[in-house]
């Protein structure tokens, strides 16, 4: 909670604001998508696959000339060849679906299933900008798009929150490239598959009183009134600094003089926009042009560094409104607007920007209502809460359990469809978290952390009338995990990863792991990848394999639901997990499988019929379960994990480190009365937590006996190569070794507030490239996680910052002063930076042109991490940036080295033609030079 901008807010009480900010000009500077596209496809494409391009061997999509007759190989099409075609943009500015009449999709699907519907289609076209200026550019349903020579992140899930990038476009003709990927998870499994994307260019008027600031009024998170009072004080207001340098203004003189070019005339394609842009920003290097600061007027808040927005940056401002406000003003609060004061760091001027007026939803106690809260990364998110009908306090001292209801993909948690799907319970709260966005991260990682923050918020009983607070208290460790579809998968995931918090679980229509929704076996890269290396890559996502974690659910009461005719998440998913858990329970009927015949993915009653209610009653009705006890522990059970970073305890035992990280670790436990026998595989360190069900008077582990009870809290360690387990009395090891928050893999960088560190005086790659990519990372985090991050210069990273944030550090030691510093401190000791700009890992050197690397390394205090993203040159750097896993299912271990046989994973084609000497173009995981995991130390 490092800044709250309460002092920045001006509230309108019970009246409308005089004016709202018109953020985008609709002046006649209309830019539309190309009318006609040159299209090549469809090509086979794996699920969540990066870095492949079936055209790279022939020069790459950008370079291949359009032709009526040329053909290119594609196994999807009859005859194995596809041709160019042209496609017109639809009148609503959408593009597609393309009718590929030479593909027999159902015939292909019979043997190969859904994954054979996955495909990529390349589009390119020209569009005209009538007047130079800044545009907010937005593409939905593509992972990325490329304008002229730069790639930008798209809004692949079609989220409603802002996803645009501010781009300066010079008057004239520009090129646009799109690689549209049909993904069954997004477009469904229809035959023929239909891929449609949309694109929008909104001109930004910088000449208003708001200058370069856009307020994204549609992205606001607004609290609600319960019985006339604000339930929670947190608002989120998203602002964008739409200033992006005009790459031409400052260079025109020299450029026109030397080349005599008249770049920018209509009808001309800008060939060298990149060089010009770099020059322009180079001139601004180290200056404050375009930076704004949000003035923090409140002294009560610990500010580490004041909030600055870099050019092009989007930020969801967390705002805390004083609770007593309504009372002070004596008026009824019904709506609110904000005025944010900015300071332009270059012109040294202050200016104020106003938001729209937001009406506050009114609720009465007893209805579902919204709780807003500061999530772990200091952005404001919400969860819906439905209180119990009866006071839990009547049941002895007990606090209410929570039914944790996880929504499906694309569902807004606040929609009545979802909050009305469950029956209000007598003695349990129902909490409907968001997981940060309607898709989230499949309830793993940032979504799981968001759930924890929502539970924590609920414990404060915001919105509960004062006189009732004593009756509706909460026990955050008594959870019923439930959900539908992606949320059903989430309920399985939480039950198998955090089983000790479960009273019971009701997963409905859930899938078993991402590869069971969209199979991975047709990934193109596999064809070029050594099988053992493939396994290393796959280990980076296997911590989410519910089947491999099924043992952890032994003893948890489960009602598993599925529609017998569910053709979206087929019932085989549910049945398979049920079979596995029954095996681990050694009881063929331990799991209650409720398969409702003739029903599909969703049906009336799925989350609230009598079957479901009577199961809930077994665990929530105090007559059946007095005091809401956790289920008893099985006499024998197994604890499994691949990553201590995402696994809690079972029976009070938590695995903390593995001998070989990212390989399966297990502890088998056999309880003989109060004597416990533990046998381990691949466990280096574990600990006992307090668990009321565990009464251990003596125990043994791997044949070594302890006559006294285990120590609760400290860890037990078996040093590599030794056979003895020894207690470690303190937590000092977490500042010397990797622990749950730093265990990796790469995606774990998102599980803690992070900031992006750009070089102030780079020598190898231009400052403009670093800024643009920092902006890309910040925008990606906003799109995928509705998250906020800041961009700061290397020279501004003080120890306090490195002790508080994960850092995404851009640039090697020649460019980034922080990388340099960590290199001399030994902080990045696993990777040796070479004089050539390349890298050495162990004895192997990577120095080829176009090579980039992404790796995790400890922070100076070791309790946090840095993700270093560096390139031997600009192309290598960009390849590494696009490798950051912002979506689930992307395989990125602790480090990865990519080069000329790994396409720009976003657009595929910037890799050019791959390595022409014995190479087959870009090869996805087959083109990765090196990847793997660091050890524990
Ligand atoms: C785009 O412009 C180029 C000329 O720079 C032309 O060759 C190409 O055919 C145009 N593309 C389309 C789809 O019209
Ligand atoms: C643990 O291993 C011992 C042999 O070292 C074996 O006798 C025992 O059955 C094993 N117990 C469990 C719970 O696996």
Cα–Cα separations (whole angstroms), residue 158 to 410, 445, 447, 785 = 9, 21, 18, 13
Neighbours of 576 (CB within 10 A): 15
- Tokens 């665990």 correspond to 619
Does residue 595 fall inside a structural domain? yes
pLDDT at residue 51, rounded to an integer: 84
DSSP H stretches of helix in 48-133: 105-112
Say yes or no: 384 and 339 in one domain. Answer: no
Q: Which of 302, 334, 362 is the last residue of a domain?
A: 362
Does residue 703 fall inside a structural domain? yes
Say yes or no: 649 and 595 in one domain. Answer: no
Q: Output the average pLDDT for the chain.
A: 87
Identify the bridge partners of residue 352 per DSSP, sorted by sequence position: 341
Backbone angles phi, psi at 863, to 5 degrees: -85, -10
Least confident of 193-202, 334-343, 899-908: 899-908
- Tokens 């077994």 correspond to 618
Does residue 30 fall inside a structural domain? no
Say yes or no: 200 and 55 in one domain. Answer: yes
Say yes or no: 220 and 198 in one domain. Answer: no
Angle between helices 486-497 and 445-459 (to 10 degrees): 80
pLDDT at 304 over 50: no
Q: Which of 61, 64, 68, 126 is the pocket-test mutation for ligand 1 (most atoms within 8 Å of CB)?
A: 126
Residues with CB under 6 A from ligand 2: 668, 670, 677, 679, 703
Q: Which of 735, 757, 790 is the last residue of a domain?
A: 735
- Please give the distance, rounded to the nearest whole angstrom, from the Cα atom of residue 616 to the centre of ligand 1: 63
pLDDT at residue 12, rounded to an integer: 31
**Closest alpha carbon to 456 in 430, 477, 425:** 477
- Under a CB-based contact definition with an 8 Å cutoff, are residues 55 and 47 in contact? no
Say yes or no: 123 and 171 in one domain. Answer: yes
The CATH number assigned to the domain holding 802 equals 3.30.379.10
Of all ligands present, the nearest one to the C-alpha of 701 is: 2
Q: Which of 640, 679, 704 is the pocket-test mutation for ligand 2 (most atoms within 8 Å of CB)?
A: 679
Q: Distance between CA 312 and CA 657 in Å, rounded?
A: 41
- Please give the distance, rounded to the nearest whole angstrom, from the Cα atom of residue 300 to the centre of ligand 2: 58
pLDDT at 691 over 50: yes
Say yes or no: 193 and 53 in one domain. Answer: yes
Of all ligands present, the nearest one to the C-alpha of 699 is: 2
Q: Distance between CA 143 and CA 784 in Å, rounded?
A: 11
pLDDT at 578 over 50: yes
Least confident of 442-446, 459-463, 721-725: 721-725
The CATH number assigned to the domain holding 10 equals 2.60.40
- Please give the distance, rounded to the nearest whole angstrom, from the Cα atom of residue 631 to the centre of ligand 2: 25
pLDDT at 287 over 90: no
Q: What is the CA radius of gyration of the chain?
A: 28
Higher-pLDDT residue of 903 and 173 is: 173
pLDDT at residue 4, rounded to an integer: 27
pLDDT at 19 over 50: no
- Under a CB-based contact definition with an 8 Å cutoff, are residues 844 and 932 in contact? no
Does residue 287 fall inside a structural domain? yes
Cα–Cα separations (whole angstroms), residue 828 to 61, 243, 763 = 37, 35, 20
Does residue 313 fall inside a structural domain? yes
Q: Distance between CA 375 and CA 262 in Å, rounded?
A: 50
For 585-630, what is each residue's pLDDT tens digit? 999 999 999 999 999 999 999 999 999 999 999 999 999 999 999 9
- Under a CB-based contact definition with an 8 Å cutoff, are residues 77 and 15 in contact? no
Least confident of 119-128, 294-303, 538-547: 294-303
- Tokens 């995981």 correspond to 925
Say yes or no: 48 and 136 in one domain. Answer: yes
Identify the bridge partners of residue 870 per DSSP, sorted by sequence position: 853
Range of 838's domain? Answer: 746-899
| Host H or E run for residue 516 | helix 514-517
Residue 617 CB burial class (10 angstroms; 0-12, 13-18, ≥19): middle
DSSP H stretches of helix in 296-429: 325-329, 416-419
Does residue 893 fall inside a structural domain? yes
State how many domains the chain has: 5
Does residue 927 fall inside a structural domain? no
Half-sphere exposure of residue 693: CA atoms within 13 angstroms, side-chain side: 17
Higher-pLDDT residue of 613 and 916 is: 613
For 777-790, what is each residue's pLDDT tens digit? 999 999 999 999 99
User: What SS3 string covers 861-908?
Assistant: CCCCEEEEEEECCHHHHHHHHCCCCCCCCCCCCCEEEECCCCCCCCCC
Say yes or no: 812 and 885 in one domain. Answer: yes
pLDDT at residue 328, rounded to an integer: 52
Residues with CB under 6 A from ligand 1: 36-38, 66, 125-126, 269
Say yes or no: 754 and 870 in one domain. Answer: yes
Q: Distance between CA 144 and CA 179 in Å, rounded?
A: 7
Residue 466 CB burial class (10 angstroms; 0-12, 13-18, ≥19): exposed
pLDDT at 257 over 50: no
pLDDT at residue 907, rounded to an integer: 52
- Please give the distance, rounded to the nearest whole angstrom, from the Cα atom of residue 20 to the centre of ligand 1: 41
pLDDT at residue 268, rounded to an integer: 26
| Ligand 2 atom 7 nearest Cα | 703
Higher-pLDDT residue of 718 and 244 is: 718
pLDDT at residue 295, rounded to an integer: 63
| Ligand 2 atom 4 nearest Cα | 703
Q: Which of 339, 362, 385 is the last residue of a domain?
A: 362
Which two structure tokens, joined as six digits, stand for 250? 């400052």
- Under a CB-based contact definition with an 8 Å cutoff, are residues 744 and 755 in contact? no
pLDDT at residue 616, rounded to an integer: 98
| Host H or E run for residue 616 | helix 610-620
| Ligand 2 atom 5 nearest Cα | 703
Does residue 485 fall inside a structural domain? yes
For 153-198, what is each residue's pLDDT tens digit? 999 999 999 999 999 999 999 999 998 999 888 888 899 999 999 9
Residues whose CB is less than 8 angstroms from the CB of residue 70 and which lie 6 or more positions away in sequence, other chains included: 64, 83, 84
For 49-107, what is each residue's pLDDT tens digit? 888 888 888 888 888 899 999 999 999 999 999 999 999 999 999 999 999 999 999 99
Give the confidence band of 920 by pLDDT, cuts at 50, 70, 90: low
**Closest alpha carbon to 883 in 844, 928, 838:** 928
pLDDT at 26 over 90: no
Identify the bridge partners of residue 871 per DSSP, sorted by sequence position: 852
- Please give the distance, rounded to the nearest whole angstrom, from the Cα atom of residue 62 to the centre of ligand 1: 11
pLDDT at 299 over 80: no
- Please give the distance, rounded to the nearest whole angstrom, from the Cα atom of residue 126 to the centre of ligand 1: 6
Give the confidence band of 27 by pLDDT, cuts at 50, 70, 90: very low
Looking at the CA of residue 125, tell me the nearest atom of ligand 1. Answer: 13
Say yes or no: 51 and 199 in one domain. Answer: yes
Give the confidence band of 130 by pLDDT, cuts at 50, 70, 90: very high
Say yes or no: 294 and 238 in one domain. Answer: yes
Q: Distance between CA 704 and CA 838 in Å, rounded?
A: 48
- Please give the distance, rounded to the nearest whole angstrom, from the Cα atom of residue 868 to the centre of ligand 2: 44
Angle between helices 767-785 and 874-881 (to 10 degrees): 10
Say yes or no: 222 and 287 in one domain. Answer: yes
- Under a CB-based contact definition with an 8 Å cutoff, are residues 318 and 266 in contact? no
């Amino acid at each position: 909670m490092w800044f709250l901008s309460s002092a920045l807010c001006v509230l309108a009480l019970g009246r409308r604001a005089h004016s709202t900010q018109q953020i985008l000009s609709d002046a006649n500077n209309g830019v539309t998508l190309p009318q006609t596209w040159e299209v090549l496809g469809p090509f086979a494409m794996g699920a969540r696959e990066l870095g492949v391009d079936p055209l790279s061997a022939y020069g790459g999509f950008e370079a291949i000339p359009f032709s009526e007759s040329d053909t290119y190989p594609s196994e999807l099409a009859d005859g194995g060849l596809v041709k160019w075609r042209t496609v017109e943009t639809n009148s609503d500015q959408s593009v597609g679906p393309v009718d590929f009449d030479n593909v027999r999709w159902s015939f292909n699907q019979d043997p190969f299933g859904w994954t054979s519907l996955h495909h990529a289609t390349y589009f390119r076209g020209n569009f005209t900008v009538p007047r130079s200026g800044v545009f907010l550019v937005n593409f939905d349903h593509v992972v990325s798009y490329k304008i002229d020579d730069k790639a930008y992140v798209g809004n692949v899930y079609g989220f409603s929150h802002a996803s645009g990038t501010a781009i300066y476009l010079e008057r004239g003709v520009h090129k646009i490239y799109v690689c549209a990927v049909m993904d069954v998870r997004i477009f469904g499994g229809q035959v023929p598959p239909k891929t449609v994307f949309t694109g929008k260019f909104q001109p930004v008027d910088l000449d208003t009183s708001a200058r370069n600031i856009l307020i994204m009024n549609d992205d606001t998170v607004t609290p609600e009134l319960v019985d006339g009072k604000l339930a929670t004080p947190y608002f989120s207001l998203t602002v964008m600094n739409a200033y992006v340098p005009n790459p031409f203004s400052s260079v025109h003189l020299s450029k026109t003089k030397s080349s005599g070019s008249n770049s920018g005339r209509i009808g001309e394609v800008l060939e060298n926009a990149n060089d010009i842009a770099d020059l322009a920003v180079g001139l601004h290097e180290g200056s404050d042009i375009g930076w704004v600061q949000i003035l923090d007027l409140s002294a009560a808040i610990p500010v580490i560094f004041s909030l600055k927005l870099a050019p092009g940056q989007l930020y969801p401002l967390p705002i805390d409104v004083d609770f007593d406000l309504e009372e002070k003003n004596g008026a009824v609060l019904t709506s609110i607007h904000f005025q944010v004061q900015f300071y332009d760091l270059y012109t040294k001027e202050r200016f104020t920007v106003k938001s729209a007026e937001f009406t506050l939803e009114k609720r009465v106690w007893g209805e579902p209502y919204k709780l807003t809260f500061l999530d772990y990364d200091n952005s404001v998110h919400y969860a819906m809460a439905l209180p119990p009908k009866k006071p839990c306090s009547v049941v002895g001292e007990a606090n209410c359990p929570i039914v944790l209801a996880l929504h499906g993909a694309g569902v807004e948690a606040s929609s009545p469809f979802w909050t009305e799907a469950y029956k209000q319970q007598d003695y349990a709260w129902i909490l409907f978290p968001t997981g940060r966005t309607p898709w989230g991260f499949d309830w793993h990682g940032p979504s799981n952390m968001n759930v924890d923050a929502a539970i924590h918020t609920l414990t404060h009983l915001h919105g509960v009338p004062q006189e009732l607070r004593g009756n509706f208290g909460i026990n955050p460790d008594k959870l019923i995990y439930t959900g539908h579809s992606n949320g059903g998968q989430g309920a399985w995931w939480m039950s198998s990863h955090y089983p000790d918090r479960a009273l019971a679980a009701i997963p409905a229509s859930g899938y078993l792991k991402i590869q069971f929704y969209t199979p991975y076996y047709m990934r193109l890269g596999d064809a070029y990848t050594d099988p053992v290396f493939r396994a290393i890559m796959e280990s980076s996502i296997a911590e989410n394999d519910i089947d491999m974690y099924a043992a952890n659910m032994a003893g948890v009461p489960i009602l598993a639901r599925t529609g017998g005719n569910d053709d979206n998440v087929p019932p085989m998913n549910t049945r398979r997990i049920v079979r596995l858990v029954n095996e681990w329970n050694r009881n063929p009927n331990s799991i209650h499988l409720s398969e409702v015949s003739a029903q599909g993915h969703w049906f009336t009653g799925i989350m609230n019929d009598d079957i479901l209610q009577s199961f809930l009653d077994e665990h929530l009705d105090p007559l059946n379960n007095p005091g809401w006890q956790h289920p008893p522990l099985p006499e024998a059970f197994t604890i499994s994990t691949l990553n201590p970073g995402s696994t809690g305890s079972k029976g009070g035992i938590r695995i903390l480190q593995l001998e070989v990280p990212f390989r399966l670790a297990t502890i088998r436990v056999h309880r003989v009365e109060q004597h416990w026998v533990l046998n381990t595989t691949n466990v280096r360190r574990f600990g006992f937590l307090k668990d009321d069900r565990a009464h251990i008077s003596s125990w043994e582990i791997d044949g070594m006996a302890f006559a006294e009870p285990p120590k609760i809290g400290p860890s037990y360690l078996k040093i590599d190569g030794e056979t003895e387990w020894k207690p470690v009395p303190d937590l000092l090891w977490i500042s010397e070794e990797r622990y749950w928050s730093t265990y990796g893999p790469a995606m774990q960088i998102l599980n803690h507030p992070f900031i992006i560190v750009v070089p102030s005086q780079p020598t190898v790659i231009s400052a403009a490239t670093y800024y643009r990519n920092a902006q890309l990372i910040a925008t990606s985090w906003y799109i995928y996680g509705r998250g906020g991050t800041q961009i700061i210069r290397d020279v501004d990273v003080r120890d306090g910052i490195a002790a508080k944030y994960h850092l995404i550090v851009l640039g090697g030691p020649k460019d980034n002063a922080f990388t340099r510093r960590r290199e001399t401190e030994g902080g990045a000791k696993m990777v040796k930076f070479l004089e050539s700009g390349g890298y050495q890992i162990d004895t192997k050197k990577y120095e080829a042109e176009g090579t980039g690397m992404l790796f995790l390394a400890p922070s100076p205090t070791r309790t946090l991490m840095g993700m270093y993203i560096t390139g031997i040159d600009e192309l290598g750097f960009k390849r590494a940036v696009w490798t950051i896993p912002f979506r689930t299912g992307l395989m990125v271990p602790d480090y990865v080295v990519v080069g000329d046989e790994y396409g720009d994973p976003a657009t595929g084609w910037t890799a050019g033609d791959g390595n022409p000497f014995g190479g087959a173009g870009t090869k996805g995981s087959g083109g990765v030079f090196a990847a793997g995991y660091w050890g524990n130390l």
